[in-house]
Amino acid sequence: MRIAGSAHLPPDFRNLPRLMVEFVDWLNRAETQLVQEPERLSPIVVAAAAEHALNVVLGVLGVE
């Protein structure tokens, strides 16, 4: 799938289950790090990364 007017190539939909597992694992590790070492990772960075990842997934699914 290609997005008209964009150089971005979203992941193949068949990879979404694996990518979502990886994302949730990352998010859980980030949450743990926020609790244990809040000076190392900003909650704003975690939120921005989470929003970006979900936008990619929603784009692949055709949800706007």
Domain membership flag for residue 57 = yes
Is 7 a domain residue?
Answer: no
Within a domain: 8: no
Residue 4 lies in a domain: no
Domain containing residue 32: 13-61
What's the confidence (pLDDT) of residue 60? 60
Residue 2 lies in a domain: no
Which pLDDT score, from 0 to 100, does residue 45 have?
A: 80
Alpha helical stretches, state H, the chain: 16-36, 43-61
Please tell me the pTM assigned to this model: 0.58
Q: What is the tally of structural domains in the chain? A: 1
Distance CA 19, CA 56 (A): 11
pLDDT in tens, the chain (64 residues): 666 787 877 778 888 888 888 878 877 887 777 778 777 778 888 788 788 877 776 666 565 5
Residue of 51, 45, 62, 49 lying closest to 10 (CA atoms): 62
